[in-house]
Structure 1
Amino acid sequence: MLVDSHVNLHGEKYEDDLDEVLARAHEAGIGAMLAISDQLSSQPAIQAISSAHEHIWHSVGVHPHHAKDYPELTAAELIELARQSEAVGIGECGLDLYYEYSKLSDQEPVFQAHIEAAQELQLPLIIHTRNADDQMQGMLSEADQVKPLPLLMHCYTSGMSLAQKALELGAYISFSGILTFRKADDVRAIADMVPLDRLLIETDCPYLAPVPHRGRRCEPAHVVHVADKLAELKNVTPEEIARVTTDNFFRLFSKADRSKALVT
């Protein structure tokens, strides 16, 4: 069994064929998924998908792109939403200085609210970070001094130094279809460095379709190609990657009931 640890199934990309997408995922051996929150206004749609499928869990959070839209967001609000909806993680949240759809001054307090919510609930903090290595390392180091918390560096494309620091803080690191891209040698080098017991895989669908599907809509079934590339990098079998990444997912997201995963 494989787990796709980061899917974006709500919204127009899948509104016409979600059932078929999920059937293809099952056929490909994907037994569990984590539906990710991009903003609080998406929660009803995300929770509806999660509620309809026992093997799909969900998170609560605000992507840094949308930080400007939630200037008053508090940890207490995130905590209440997570408890009410039985979320298994906090995020996707973090810092993005590549697109900067929200100013850093808007992103930092929103990210801090997520940190404090995850600390209180001891739920994994699902982190998006792009072109913000120094700022991210600083905020995570400061948070760890207050109260350690479970961390997941999602769809990792940042530098080696931040990856090493995150591992020191106990983080897991997840890789997407970017691993298969021709020019992604830096990402592959970091994946090769991360210990097997800290690795997760994802699609981040509908984005970042791996080779041989690049340029098309991504879907959870494609996580098979991420697992195969990771097995190649680690010089282990795809079955070993499936085993360890599935074990890692359920260890990190301990509120996700493994018995609900589909038999594949």
Structure 2
Amino acid sequence: MSAEQQEKPERREPQEPQEPLAFVKHTKRGDKAYAVPAAPAPLFDTHGHLTCFWSKDPAEVLVRAGRAGVRRLVTLFDPIADEMPLEEFRHRLAEWRARATAQAAEAGMPARGLPDVSYLAGVHPYGAPVFSDGALSVVEQALADPRCAGVGEIGLDYHFDADDNIEAAPHDVQIACFEQQLALACSRNVPVELHVRNDGADEARAAHADAYRVLSEVGIPAAGCVLHCFTEDRATMERFVELGCHIAFGGAATFKRNADIREAFAACPLDRILFETDCPYMAPEPLRGIECEPALIAFTATALAQDRSERTGEDPADIMRAAWENATALFAG
């Protein structure tokens, strides 16, 4: 074989161009497809539950996320709620990534286009009644894994849903569970993500008041603290930003009735904003009601950046770029 023949690149068949990514919403008036908006900056979903889909394949979800511009994703492992050993969870993550890589290659999509997936480990406040030293030990074990980026989601939930058969834990039980895991995050200096939800009828916002007190007394990791799925007002946002927290905004901020959340997003310091999906829950408008997935963060980020831009005059691309930079700095590694 001649040198010229040896250097000749292998001929490959051209790939069929992929159709634009879109999601369909089923309504009484018929089905309607919504194309995923093109993001002017990379997207980072800082909170999504890959273990919780009820009808979707996580591997396929990761491929669609890559197509939507999601470059990084933080998922969650809960030693109590996930009902699986840590090693099984790690195995599932690896298996989903492997299948996603194969599916992406088959579609002509480079593997580097898939989101890099890391995770947080922690016991949700729903698990507070059965929280134990054993569960805390599993969280500690997870922190030894390079793919584990911190502790979460932990916190306080004073709005338990009887329809979901969730036993309401006394506030002091939840606070004790929260304090122990927060102390672990502080001692290891890793980021922590908080779930803080008030009783719907509580205008005093007792859960946020108690969370603020716990953070003030136990401390906030220098590595960072995130209020995940923020659904409160501007004043609440400002109090937690003053403590040093980041604020993560998800699909709920796009709902028509939630003008207070959009006001909070527009007023939040640019170096403190994050985006998330909290998938498979709370898909953003115009897809509210469908099973959410990381690709839908493009709708949330686009809508909130545009709304903020109209209020402040900032370039939407700069807003989205700031959210990406904040998230990559927070979950470095």
Contact in 1 for aligned 2:224/2:330 (Cα 8 Å): yes
Could you say which structure has the greater relative contact order, defined with CA pairs below 8 angstroms and 6 or more residues apart? 1
**Residue of structure 1 in register with 2:181 after alignment:** 114
In structure 2, the CA distance between the partners of 1:10 and 1:44, relative to structure 1 (3 Å rule), is: farther
Look up the equivalent residue of 1:4 and give its one-letter code: D
Residue 210 of structure 2, aligned match among 111, 122, 135: 135
Partner of 2:48: 7
Q: Distance in 2 between matches of 1:101 and 1:108?
A: 13
Distance in 2 between residues matched to 1:242 and 1:189, nearest whole Å: 17
1:23-172 correspondence runs (5 A): 23-40=63-80, 41-42=83-84, 43-52=86-95, 53=97, 55-72=116-133, 78-84=139-145, 86-99=147-160, 101-131=168-198, 132-144=207-219, 150-172=224-246
Alpha-carbon offset, residue 71 of structure 1:
3.9
RMSD (Å), alpha carbons = 2.2
SS in structure 1 of the partner of residue 262 of structure 2: helix
TM-score (norm. length: structure 1): 0.87
Q: State the AA in 2 paired with 1:17.
A: D
Gap runs ≥5 in structure 2: 1-41, 98-114, 161-166, 199-206
Which secondary structure state, in structure 1, belongs to the residue aligned with residue 168 of structure 2? Answer: coil
Alignment partner, residue 259 of structure 1: none
Q: Is the 8 A contact 2:185 2:191 kept in 1?
A: yes
SS in 1 for 2:77: coil
Decide which moves more: 100-109 or 78-87.
78-87
Give the secondary structure class of the aligned counterpart of 1:212. coil
- Structure 1: where are the runs of 5+ without partners? 256-264
What per-residue deviation string (whole Å, max 9, x for no partner) do you get for residues 195-239 of structure 1? 111110000000000011111100111000111122123214443
In the alignment, structure 1 residue 183 sits paired with structure 2 residue 265:
no
Percent sequence identity over aligned pairs? 31
- Among 292, 307, 324, the residue aligned to 1:218: 292
* Structure number with bigger Rg: 2
Structure with the largest fraction of helix:
1
Equivalent residue for 1:246? 324
Which moved further from structure 2: 235-244 or 209-218?
Answer: 235-244
Q: Name the amino acid aligned to 1:65.
A: Y
- Cα distance per residue 1:57-111 (max 9 Å; x no partner): 0011011111112144676653333114641010100001011732212211110
Structure 1 residues 212 and 150: CA distance shift in structure 2, 3 A = same
Q: 1:51 Cα deviation (Å)? A: 3.5
Kept after mapping to 1: 8 A contact 2:233/2:263: no
> 1:144: how far off?
2.9
